[in-house]
Structure 1
């Protein structure tokens, strides 16, 4: 059994339900560097959603769109395996099926890049990152979500554990989405909160790259969420402090805070007498 997601299996399993549609793959190039070169080498056509925007020159971090049918032939077996191996656990790949032609799909994806948050600040909405899309599913109103997803009849994304998640949507021939997407202050904060595990992962990667690397990619998100919750329960807050707690859990085991040798540290933190980082430095 393969450790990686299969593009071919998705199409085969869904082609009868969406037999008149085109299957598209939308990739965050920042998470799969080298994809554009691989597509060029295989003469597979693709589009950057950043084209005709102020980010047009930033191909290395652009969302890239191509048809799954263009990588399905036997001639592209190596390219397809490369995409599956590099996309399964990098939170970089979104798939969807639509009756729209590629140029129209790109146009609709492009206008969805624009969002406005509190104080009327314009921001780039990185919905092409599956982690952001997943947060949007829980944060946007039903109407906002329906309009945003109306490009396609169905969406799929690979979550942080490498599992395929299906999103049902209602396709609209006439685009119902109004750009820019306006987020309330509460929605903005919820989106930021949803990104905290990824910020902690970045901190752990910097603090202890070798040890963090040894933790299976598919297990990292759940590990961080569990230990962030335990850190919160004893009064630890802030990304850096929580990341330190997770780091100690990596080194000494997830039950370290209940061990006698850690009782004094945990007690000081629980009683707000000291920060976790300060307590560690005193040990």
Structure 2
């Protein structure tokens, strides 16, 4: 069994310098030629040597995860490249899919049917994620037991059903709301014992209804409200909600102009 790592260059800025310094067998998962501006942001499949393993243990980013397989690098790369796009309901064309994000992989394996999972894994035997320095191995032997090793799907790419997409979206939304609540609690300072999840959840869905989905803007509004001492959505003054709900401009424009008037700019996101 061979150990590989799928590493996301967009999340781990030290990836390319590591590849240059240690020179392990590695390959970009994007099809060649890779556009120059994407080289640093692309996902890479890397053979885990002792040096690579040692380097990965020093990372505190959600860099990716380990794969265990008997396949060689070329075979595994060809297999993984098939999942950079998926078909989802109400979309005629495939959409880009970050299956290599460790925050997505467990959810993906959970929502797939056993047959879809068998097809998705292909030559992969085990997936190992890392959480707070602890490695967590997922073995799918039981779920794959009903299918011969050489069974192949006739579909050229993964197709998510409506109920699967709903589960994905709900999980992503909850993850974002939890992160937003944590930011709000950090910025509250004098309200550090409060639970900001209900406020974050109400604010998130309120802004979604107005097509305000930009992370910088959502976080900027959340921080503005916390700084003003608002502890729930009903505390927000009417003059602010009136501006956000104005039909004279798109919701995002309304929110950006509000932040500029109140704070002088749309705040940059803080790390994390």
Spell out the pairing of 1:194-213 with structure 2 (5 A cutoff). 194-196=171-173, 199=176
TM-score by length of 1: 0.61
Check if 1:84 corresponds to 2:64.
no
Bigger shift: 164-173 or 59-68? 164-173
Equivalent pairs counted in the alignment come to: 228
Instruction: Look up the SS of the partner of 2:137 in the other structure.
Output: strand
Structure 1 residues 1-283: aligned runs within 5 Å: 21-52=1-32, 57=36, 58-68=38-48, 70=49, 72=50, 76=51, 80-86=53-59, 88=60, 90-117=61-88, 118-159=90-131, 163-170=134-141, 174=150, 176-177=152-153, 178-196=155-173, 199=176, 227-229=196-198, 231-232=200-201, 238=208, 243=219, 247=223, 257=231
Q: Is the 8 A contact 1:115 1:179 kept in 2?
A: no
**Pairwise CA distance, 1:189:** 3.5
- Per-residue CA deviations over 1:156-214 (Å, capped at 9, x if unaligned) read 1135x555332212477536354311112333343233223565588789x88xx57x9
Shift of residue 146 of structure 1? 2.6
Worse overlay, 236-245 or 41-50: 236-245
- Unpaired runs of 5+ in structure 2? 245-254, 256-260, 263-272
Structure 1 segments unaligned to the other structure (5+ residues): 1-20, 215-222
Per residue, is there more helix in 1 or in 2? Answer: 1
Secondary structure (helix, strand or coil) at the match of 1:145 reads helix
Shift of the 265–36 alpha-carbon distance from structure 1 to 2, 3 Å rule, reads closer
Q: In 1, are the aligned partners of 2:83 and 2:97 still within 8 Å (CA)?
A: yes
Task: Name the SS for the 1:64 alignment partner.
Answer: strand
Give deviations 1:245-269, integer Å, cap 9, x for gaps: 965898799xx849xxx99569x9x
Instruction: Give the CA deviation at 1:41.
Output: 1.6
Q: TM-score, normalised by structure 2?
A: 0.63
Distance 1:274 1:189 in 2: 31
Aligned to 1:6: none
Cα 1:95–1:110, aligned 2, differ >3 Å: closer, same or farther?
same
| Superposition RMSD in Å | 4.4
Is the Cα contact below 8 Å between 1:112 and 1:179 reproduced in 2?
no
CA displacement at 1:121 relative to structure 2:
2.4
Q: Is the 8 A contact 1:236 1:242 kept in 2?
A: no
Contact 1:227–1:249 (CA under 8 A) maintained in structure 2: no
Partners in 2 of 1:124 and 1:108 — Cα distance? 16
